[in-house]
Amino acid sequence: MPRPDASRASASTASQVPREIWVLIAAAFIVALGYGLIAPILPQYAKSFDVGVGAASTIVSVFALARLLFAPAGGSLVGRLGERWVYLTGLVIVALSTAACAAASSFPMLLIVRGLGGIGSTMFTISAMGLIVRTAPAHLRGRVSALYGTAFLVGNIAGPALGTLASGLGFRIPFLIYAGALLAAATVAGVFLSRTSLADVRADARPKLTFAEAVRYPAYRALLAGSFANGWTNFGVRISLVPLFAALVPTLGPAMAGLGLSAYAVGNFAVLQVSGRLVDRRGRRPVAIAGLVMSGLVGLVFGFAESIPLYLALSALAGAGASLIAPSQQAALADVVGQERSGGPALAAFQMMGDLGGFAGPIVAGLIADRFGFGAAFAVSGVLTLAAVIPWLLAPETLVRS
């Protein structure tokens, strides 16, 4: 019987994961729960200020733009101050920005305060990524990335459902709830990280892997392409257009906005339970390719899913594809950087490509949806994601087997 061995393997894996990462996993769950609460209503809240679909979708783009512009400075702060303080400060900034969203009196004001939250988001994202690269054992990188992603997804599964139930509270109250969740996450991380080896870290003395060095690796170039496509499709278009698509299609309805995001999270969560092991056993490259192909194919047809069963099924498949992309790319990135070097510039560039996709995707797809319909908008995203497979086909495997 395989179950006892599997249980012992899971226990062994858990014991090898550094305490710092478990702290991040706990905080990630709290952050995702709050974010999942506002995700279904964010574009609709923006549209309530009497703007069109294209303009409403920019509420997602402005957050990604702020992350994109601040990423180089965020990487520099991590090197100077250490991961702990940058991580905590970032959480607090996003909490304050989110509370300000609830008080927004106009669409321009909402754009400004939401954009300020992107600065804090960059700070805690880069610091968390750097910590995972620094502390995760090489043979567990895929599983550690999957664990971290699972924490986000458990929150994302519950969050949109809670957001749908909380729709009767109006658009503003969920933002205040999310702000409180972020402050709780900062408290949890602040208390427990102070008891780890990172409590006194101020700077990273390891030699840096510059962007110019990293981009010489075919695998890193594939990572940049995959990050851009993943940001465009799964972090930009999915969040900005799926709720609007559901709300404007008569056979679906506004309630399906939250349920569609929940179905995405369920598909993501289910596959994440095995994708981390696949990444560590089979390699980063084949899992990344499979995830990009699955996400691309779903994008080609998603805009034509006007029945509830098909809409929910494709949402779940999109989540499954994303769950193959994230751990494979994060593990490959850690392979390229290595534990003996500081990957600040390379990590920041990787994140910037994802943020660039998350910024451009909602704007371009929103304009396409306004002019040609949702089917064309989602199909363009599918084509772009499939195109990101090409650099991966030309790149070697980064997993070094002992």
Helix 374-387, helix 238-248: angle, nearest 10: 150
Q: What CATH fold (topology level) applies to the domain 18-194+208-394?
A: Growth Hormone; Chain: A; (1.20.1250)
Domain boundaries along the sequence of the chain? 18-194+208-394
Cβ neighbours for 111, distance < 8 A, ≥ 6 positions apart? 58, 59, 62
What pLDDT does residue 391 have?
95
Torsion sign across C-alpha atoms 292, 294, 295, 298: positive
- The structure's pTM equals 0.71
Report yes or no: 60 and 47 within 8 Å, Cβ to Cβ: no
Give pLDDT tens digits along the chain (402 positions): 344 444 444 444 555 666 777 777 888 888 888 777 787 777 778 878 877 766 776 777 788 788 888 887 877 777 677 777 888 899 999 999 999 998 888 888 988 998 888 898 888 888 887 777 776 666 676 777 777 777 776 776 677 667 666 666 777 888 888 898 889 888 888 887 776 555 444 555 556 677 788 888 899 999 999 999 999 998 788 877 888 888 888 888 877 877 887 788 788 888 877 888 888 888 889 999 999 999 999 999 998 888 899 999 999 999 999 989 988 888 888 888 775 666 667 777 888 898 888 888 888 988 898 889 889 999 999 999 999 999 999 999 887 765
Beta bridge partners of 208: 342
Instruction: Report the distance separating Cα 47 and Cα 113, nearest Å.
Output: 16
The two structure tokens encoding residue 144: 């550690």
Instruction: Report the distance separating Cα 377 and Cα 369, nearest Å.
Output: 5
What pLDDT does residue 234 have?
84
Q: Quick one: 19 exposed, middle or buried, by C-beta within 10 A (0-12, 13-18, 19+)? A: middle
Within 10 A of 167 (CB to CB), how many other CB atoms are there? 17
The two structure tokens encoding residue 304: 């034509």
Q: What are phi and psi of 342, to 5 degrees?
A: -90, 125
